[in-house]
Structure 1
Amino acid sequence: MDRTDADRTDVDRADVDRADADRTDADRAVVDRAVVVGGGHMGSVIAGRLSDELRGAEVTVVEPSADRAAALREAEPRLRVEESYRPVPGAAVVVLALPPAALDSFASGLPADAFHDATVVSIMAGVRLETLVARLGTAHVLRAMPNLAAEVGQSMTMLCPGPGADDDDLARAEKALSAIGEVLVPPDESFLDAGTALVGSGPALVAFVMKGFTDYARRAGFDAAGSLRLTCQVLRGTADLLEADGTSPEELYGRASTPGGTTERGITCLGEHRVQEAVRDALEKTAARSRELAG
């Protein structure tokens, strides 16, 4: 039996209601104006991704250096570039992508209520939430740790709200940072030092290990492009495989290691060289350095 128009309306409305219920707070958040303070590499990447992913949003970059501002205007004509910070009425999100050492000079020049009604997200490594709240004069502050994969929309970003940030602040921050990749909210700020090691420095550490793969491929006779392609797809496929069914790394390499086979030989060699211990030690030293820089 065909549905009547009334039946269709009721069913379709129910589908819409269910879909709306499934949406997260970040999905519902509206970010129609965003300001990125600091037009360096990560700041310009975030601004560009915000412009791409948040259709119709007004994105402004504040870059105090006249030379860098000019270069950014030429490279990203779609972005509005300013050389000094002026509060943007109704700005939903302000991303602070300044060097940590520049925070004091930036904050000292802020007008009263500079961040009125805005959610402030700092990606300045090592600058604690209590410092940000005190220097910026607002409680609506969150810290984030993105990584270089933001360039291709594949960042793993850790996001930690301050004690005065509310649910709307978190939703807006997640909405903005989802433009550069995935977002994870840890239990508290103490996790961000480990996040700096694992997330912030992770791509560089992985690339360092990857060089062993590409060097081997080159010595085996593959050209540079083929060596990189082979290595990237192996890592990409391994990550997807682990994530697809929740398999642990140990389960995966155990499953692939047939007794007396080729993979087992390689795993044994890595164990003899204590590779896993070396990686953990590298991450621990990176996290310790993060804590030192934060004072």
Structure 2
Amino acid sequence: MERIVVVGAGHMGSVIAGGLVDGVPRAEVVVVEPSAERRPALDGRVEVTATYEPGPDDLLVLAIPPQAFDSFADGLPPGACARATVVSVMAGVRLETLASALGTDRVLRAMPNLASRVGQSMTVLCPGDQVPAGGVDRAKGALSVIGEVLAVQDESLLDAATAVAGSGPALVAYLAQSFADFSRAAGFAPADALLLTSQVLRGTADVLSEPGATPESLYRQASTPNGTTAAGIATLREHRVGESVRAALEATTERARELAG
């Protein structure tokens, strides 16, 4: 039986552990959580321990805060991760740092997002050069329980992934607030305004998932000459909304690089 160990029972660790229990029923799922306050939340669903007890060929998912990584690595017995495949969802901790601290070259970095809690994460995964294809497949299989997984070979892309996938839901929500505010000001009840906004976002995402669809093809298809949508698109261009969004993504990417050192 495959053994998957999730270190950290915070938001992301709990979501991943819960998804594994439901989505990979044949796996043995163990959660390592030093905090006695957090452990009871998962009791009854998975095995929860205070410390990591290495097992042969573990898939080890590190879902702890980056600032807790050094303490975790220092507390491991010598060679504890030598046979493990390690997947880190810690923002900003580079593959080289992971490999050096854990004593294994079988390390991967992953960037999930907050949509993981509804099984709709867009997770970007980057394996180290020494990770075999089977290790990448194991990591993708485990992370697929929280949504889509995209594997890339260039670690520098994870900074942009932090902007688009990691921070993306918050940036989209910020824009969605304007839709909801407008709807309420027009007379819709708050709950109805949120329904209008969320369904528009959901439907748009589904249409963009159709074969051959692109954002440009969608808004051009919806924009008849001199029509209502065309007026809206023209106003967005006049106010340089596209440039503002790209600037926000560039700022987020640059901050990700700074945090990673």
* TM-score normalised by L of structure 1: 0.86
Which contiguous aligned blocks of 4+ residues in structure 1 show a shift greater than 4 angstroms? Answer: none
1:119-159 CA distance string (max 9 Å, x none): 11000000000000000001111000001111111111000
- Count of equivalent residues: 261
- Given that residues 145 and 195 in structure 1 are in contact (C-alpha distance below 8 angstroms), is that contact kept between their aligned partners in structure 2? yes
- Aligned-residue CA RMSD in angstroms? 1.3
Structure holding more helix per residue: 1
Query: Residue 46 of structure 2 aligns to which amino acid in structure 1?
Result: L
- Given that residues 158 and 185 in structure 1 are in contact (C-alpha distance below 8 angstroms), is that contact kept between their aligned partners in structure 2? yes
Residues 1:180 and 2:146 aligned together: yes
Query: Residue 30 of structure 2 aligns to which amino acid in structure 1?
Result: T
2:209 counterpart SS class: helix
Per the TM alignment, residue 118 of structure 1 is displaced from its structure 2 partner at its CA by 2.1
**Structure 1: gaps of 5 or more residues:** 1-30
For residue 7 of structure 2, the aligned residue among 13, 31, 37 is 37
Per the TM alignment, residue 239 of structure 1 is displaced from its structure 2 partner at its CA by 1.4
Partner of 2:191: 225
Percent identity of equivalent pairs: 61
For residue 204 of structure 1, the aligned residue among 165, 170, 175 is 170
Residues 1:118 and 2:88 aligned together: no
Partner of 1:9: none
2:153 counterpart SS class: coil
Distance 1:104 1:154 in 2: 31
Residues 1:249 and 2:218 aligned together: no
- Given that residues 32 and 54 in structure 1 are in contact (C-alpha distance below 8 angstroms), is that contact kept between their aligned partners in structure 2? no
Residues 1:267 and 2:237 aligned together: no
Distance 1:148 1:247 in 2: 25
Work out which of the two has the higher radius of gyration on C-alpha atoms and give 1 or 2.
Answer: 1
Query: Residue 52 of structure 1 aligns to which amino acid in structure 2?
Result: D
Distance 1:169 1:125 in 2: 21
* TM-score normalised by L of structure 2: 0.96
Residues 1:152 and 2:118 aligned together: yes
Distance 1:152 1:246 in 2: 26
Distance 1:199 1:50 in 2: 21
2:129 counterpart SS class: coil
Distance 1:90 1:289 in 2: 35
For residue 55 of structure 2, the aligned residue among 75, 88, 103 is 88
2:38 counterpart SS class: helix
- Given that residues 123 and 144 in structure 1 are in contact (C-alpha distance below 8 angstroms), is that contact kept between their aligned partners in structure 2? yes
**Structure 2: gaps of 5 or more residues:** none
Partner of 1:78: 45
- Given that residues 20 and 145 in structure 2 are in contact (C-alpha distance below 8 angstroms), is that contact kept between their aligned partners in structure 1? yes
Partner of 1:281: 247
